[in-house]
C-alpha cells in the first residue's frame, strides 16, 4: 500500500499540485461554520447566521457546474485566479458588514460561495491528465509521459526502404547511443524519453489519495476554525479561510506544466448532463448525501439520548476514519472489474454497512457502527469518479465532476434541512435508519438505470474490443481500461476492422 502511494507522488509535479489543492480546499468545511460563528457573535442571532451560511453554500452548489464549464473552455489558470480574487473580495465584504442588513449579508455570502474555487475538482482532472491511459495501444500520455518515436526523416518509397534496411544493420550501434525507442525500433534521431509513471500508478490510487485528503480536511477544518474564532477573534476563522483559499488556488494556478489544456474547439459542444449515465450518477450522489446530512444531527441526538453528548464529535470522526481506511485500501488494489460494476458493488455494500447504525444499543456499539458505515464512503466516491472519467469526453470532464459535487452539496443541504424534522418525529434511534433507506434508494436507482444509461461501447464493449484489435502495448499483462476515452475517441484511434455485433464500427 505504501509503495503504491509513494509511486503516485513520484509522478513529476504531482506532489506540488496535490499539496496546493489540499491547502485550497481545506477551508471547504470551515467556511459555513466560520460564517455562523462570526455572524452569531456580532449580531447575536443564530437565525441570521444560519440563513447567511445556507445562502453561501447554495451559491457554490448552483454555480459549480458553470465554473467547471469555464475551466474546460479557458483552462484552470484563468478561472482559478479570477475566482480567487472574487472570493476574496466577497469574503472581505462579508467580514466587514457583520452588523448590516440580512439582505446585504446574504448578497455577500452568495458572492463568496459562488466564487469559491473548486480546487478539489481541478486536482482530480489534473490527475486524469498527467496519468496515461492504461488501454494498451491507446495511451494518451500527459506531460509526465515519454514521447513516442519520431518519424524517420528522408525520402519515402524505394529509396526510403533501402535506407531503412541499412539502418537496421546499425541497430546495435544506435542502441549503444540510446537512439532506439521504447519498442526497440530504430529512429533516425537521437532522443531521451522523459520518465513515465510506473504501471502501479492508476486513477483509482490517485482518487483514493485525494479522498483521504478530503477526509483530513473534514476532520481538521472544523476544529481549526472553531479554535481560531473562539480563542483569538470572531474574524480569525474566516480570515484563515481567506488566506488558505486564495493561497492554495494561486499556487495551483501557477503550476502550468500539469494543467490540462483548454478545449476551445467549436465542435466541442454540449453539456455533461446530456452524456448518457451522468444523470444517474448525479441522482445517486444526491440520495447518498441526503442520508449523510441526516446522519450528522441524528448521531448528535442519539449520543445525547444515550447520555454522552460529548462523544458526538468522536462518533462523527469515526465515520471519517472509516472512510479514510476504506479509501486507502481501495486505492492500493488493482481492479480489473468494469468501473460501473465496481460502483454498483460499493453502493450495495454501503446499504448493508449502514443498517447497524439503527440497531446499536449503546455508545460503543454505535462507535463501531460508525466506523463500519464509513468504510464505503470513499470507495463509492472513487468508483463514481472513475466511472465519470470513462464516460465524459475531455472537454466536459471538469464540468461533470463539478456538477457531481454540486449534487452532493444539494443532497447534504436537503438532508440537513430534513434532519431536525425526522429526529423530532421518529426519535434519534429510528432516525438513524434513514441513511440506510436513502442508500437503498440510491442503489435501486443505480441498478435500474445505469445499464440502460451507460453506452456499452464506453462501459465495457469498446475498450475490450479496442484491446483485441490493437497491437499489444509495452506491458504483456492485460490491464483494466481506464482513461478519458469515449466511443468517438476510440473510433478515431482504432484502425479499420470488422464491425461489432451491433453493426457499429469500433
Which pLDDT value is given to residue 478? Answer: 37
Range name among 9-13, 102-106, 327-331 with the lowest pLDDT average: 327-331
Q: Where are the alpha helices (DSSP H) in 115-149?
A: 119-130
Q: What torsion, rounded to 10 degrees, do the Cα atoms 280, 285, 291, 295 define?
A: 170
Give the mean model confidence (pLDDT) for residues 477-488.
36
pLDDT band (50, 70, 90) for residue 477: very low
The Cα 179–Cα 193 span in angstroms is 10
**Long-range contact set of residues 104-110: C-beta below 8 Å, sequence gap at least 24:** 105/39, 105/48, 105/52, 106/51, 106/52, 106/55, 109/35, 109/52, 109/53, 109/55, 109/56, 109/59, 110/55, 110/56, 110/58, 110/59
pLDDT top residue among 287 and 264: 287
The Cα 60–Cα 80 span in angstroms is 14
Which pLDDT value is given to residue 476? Answer: 35
pLDDT top residue among 334 and 25: 25
Q: Is the model's pLDDT at 266 over the cut of 90?
A: no
Which pLDDT value is given to residue 289? Answer: 87
Give the start-end residues of each E strand in 101-249: none
Which pLDDT value is given to residue 381? Answer: 86
Of residues 142, 93, 100, the one with CA closest to residue 115: 93
Which pLDDT value is given to residue 310? Answer: 66
Which pLDDT value is given to residue 454? Answer: 54
pLDDT band (50, 70, 90) for residue 267: low
pLDDT band (50, 70, 90) for residue 309: low
Residues 282, 374: contact at Cβ < 8 Å? no
Residues 325, 211: contact at Cβ < 8 Å? no
The Cα 40–Cα 226 span in angstroms is 13
Q: Give the rounded percent of residues in the chain with a pLDDT score beyond 90.
A: 19
End-to-end CA distance of the chain: 37
Which pLDDT value is given to residue 181? Answer: 42
Of residues 70, 64, 72, the one with CA closest to residue 394: 72
Top-ranked range on mean pLDDT: pick from 111-115, 177-181, 195-199, 461-465: 111-115
Q: Is the model's pLDDT at 283 over the cut of 60?
A: yes
The Cα 272–Cα 398 span in angstroms is 9
Q: Is the model's pLDDT at 246 over the cut of 90?
A: yes
Of residues 187, 190, 193, the one with CA closest to residue 154: 187
The Cα 25–Cα 116 span in angstroms is 9
Q: Is the model's pLDDT at 313 over the cut of 60?
A: yes
Which pLDDT value is given to residue 78? Answer: 92
Q: Which residues partner with 186 through β-bridges?
A: 180
Top-ranked range on mean pLDDT: pick from 166-180, 349-363, 406-420: 349-363
Give the mean model confidence (pLDDT) for residues 220-230.
84
For the segment 76-88, what is each residue's pLDDT rounded down to a tens digit? 999 999 999 999 9
Q: Is the model's pLDDT at 162 over the cut of 80?
A: no
Cell triple for residue 236?
480569525
For the segment 118-158, what is each residue's pLDDT rounded down to a tens digit? 898 899 889 888 886 443 333 334 444 444 334 444 444 44
> Mean pLDDT over all residues of the chain?
75
Residues 99, 242: contact at Cβ < 8 Å? no
Q: Is the model's pLDDT at 14 over the cut of 80?
A: yes
Q: Which residue has the cell 462501459?
A: 459
| pTM over cut 0.95 | no
Q: Between the CA of residue 107 and those of 28, 58, 412, 483, what are the distances in Å?
A: 19, 12, 22, 40
Cell triple for residue 191?
532522443
Residues present in the chain in total: 506
Give the mean model confidence (pLDDT) for residues 457-465.
42
Which pLDDT value is given to residue 185? Answer: 40
Q: Is the model's pLDDT at 97 over the cut of 90?
A: no
Q: Is the model's pLDDT at 235 over the cut of 80?
A: yes
User: Counting beta carbons within 10 angstroms of the beta carbon of residue 126, is it exposed (0 to 12), middle (13 to 18) or buried (19 or more)?
Assistant: buried
pLDDT top residue among 92 and 420: 92
Q: Which residue has the cell 476532520?
A: 219
The Cα 423–Cα 440 span in angstroms is 20
Q: How many C-beta neighbours within 10 Å does residue 310 have?
A: 9
Q: How many C-beta neighbours within 10 Å does residue 465 have?
A: 16
For the segment 36-77, what is each residue's pLDDT rounded down to a tens digit? 888 888 877 777 887 888 888 888 888 888 888 888 888 899
Give the mean model confidence (pLDDT) for residues 277-289.
89
For the segment 382-410, what is each residue's pLDDT rounded down to a tens digit? 888 888 888 888 778 888 888 888 888 88
The Cα 283–Cα 442 span in angstroms is 7
Residues 390, 485: contact at Cβ < 8 Å? yes
Amino acid at each position: 500500500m505504501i509503495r503504491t502511494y509513494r509511486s503516485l507522488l513520484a509522478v513529476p509535479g504531482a506532489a506540488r499540485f496535490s499539496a496546493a489543492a489540499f491547502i485550497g480546499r481545506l477551508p471547504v468545511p470551515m467556511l459555513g461554520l466560520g460564517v455562523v460563528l462570526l455572524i452569531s457573535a456580532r449580531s447575536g442571532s443564530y437565525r441570521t447566521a444560519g440563513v447567511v451560511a445556507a445562502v453561501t453554500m447554495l451559491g457554490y452548489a448552483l454555480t459549480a457546474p458553470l465554473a467547471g464549464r469555464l475551466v474546460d473552455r479557458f483552462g484552470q489558470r484563468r478561472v482559478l485566479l479570477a475566482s480567487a480574487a472574487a472570493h476574496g473580495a466577497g469574503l472581505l465584504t462579508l467580514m466587514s458588514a457583520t452588523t448590516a442588513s440580512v439582505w446585504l449579508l446574504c448578497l455577500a455570502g452568495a458572492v463568496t460561495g459562488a466564487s469559491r474555487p473548486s480546487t478539489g475538482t481541478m486536482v482530480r482532472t489534473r490527475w486524469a491528465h498527467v496519468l496515461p491511459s492504461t488501454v494498451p495501444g491507446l495511451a494518451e500520455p500527459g506531460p509526465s509521459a515519454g514521447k513516442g518515436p519520431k518519424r524517420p526523416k528522408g525520402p519515402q518509397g524505394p529509396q526510403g526502404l533501402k535506407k531503412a534496411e541499412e539502418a537496421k544493420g546499425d541497430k546495435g550501434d544506435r542502441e549503444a547511443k540510446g537512439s532506439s525507442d521504447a519498442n526497440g525500433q530504430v529512429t533516425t534521431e537521437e532522443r531521451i524519453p522523459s520518465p513515465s509513471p510506473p504501471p502501479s500508478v492508476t486513477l483509482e490510487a490517485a482518487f483514493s489519495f485525494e479522498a483521504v485528503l478530503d477526509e483530513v480536511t473534514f476532520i481538521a477544518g472544523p476544529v481549526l476554525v472553531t479554535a481560531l474564532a473562539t480563542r483569538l477573534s470572531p474574524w480569525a476563522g474566516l480570515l484563515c479561510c481567506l488566506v488558505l483559499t486564495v493561497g492554495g488556488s494561486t499556487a495551483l494556478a501557477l503550476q502550468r506544466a500539469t494543467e490540462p489544456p483548454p478545449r476551445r474547439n467549436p465542435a466541442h459542444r454540449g453539456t455533461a448532463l446530456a452524456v448518457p449515465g451522468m444523470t444517474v450518477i448525479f441522482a445517486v450522489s444526491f440520495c447518498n448525501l441526503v442520508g449523510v446530512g441526516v446522519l450528522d444531527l441524528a448521531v448528535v441526538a442519539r449520543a445525547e439520548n444515550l447520555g454522552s453528548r460529548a462523544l458526538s464529535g468522536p462518533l462523527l470522526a469515526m465515520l471519517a476514519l472509516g472512510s479514510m481506511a476504506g479509501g486507502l485500501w481501495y486505492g492500493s488494489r488493482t481492479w480489473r472489474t468494469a468501473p460501473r460494476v465496481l460502483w454498483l458493488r460499493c453502493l450495495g455494500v454501503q446499504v448493508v454497512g449502514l443498517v447497524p447504525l439503527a440497531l446499536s444499543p449503546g455508545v460503543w456499539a454505535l462507535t463501531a457502527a460508525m466506523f463500519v458505515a464509513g468504510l464505503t464512503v470513499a470507495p463509492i466516491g472513487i468508483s463514481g469518479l472513475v466511472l465519470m472519467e470513462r464516460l465524459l469526453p475531455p472537454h466536459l470532464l471538469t464540468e461533470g465532476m463539478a456538477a457531481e459535487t454540486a449534487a452532493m452539496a444539494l443532497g447534504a443541504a436537503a438532508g440537513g434541512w430534513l434532519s431536525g424534522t425526522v429526529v423530532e418525529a421518529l426519535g434519534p434511534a429510528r432516525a438513524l435508519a434513514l441513511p440506510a433507506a436513502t442508500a437503498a434508494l440510491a442503489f435501486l436507482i443505480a441498478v435500474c438505470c445505469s445499464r440502460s444509461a451507460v453506452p456499452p461501447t464506453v462501459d465495457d464493449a469498446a475498450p475490450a474490443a479496442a484491446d483485441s484489435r490493437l497491437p499489444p502495448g509495452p506491458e504483456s499483462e492485460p490491464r483494466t481500461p481506464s482513461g478519458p476515452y469515449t466511443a468517438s475517441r476510440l473510433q478515431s484511434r482504432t484502425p479499420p476492422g470488422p464491425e461489432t455485433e451491433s453493426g457499429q464500427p469500433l
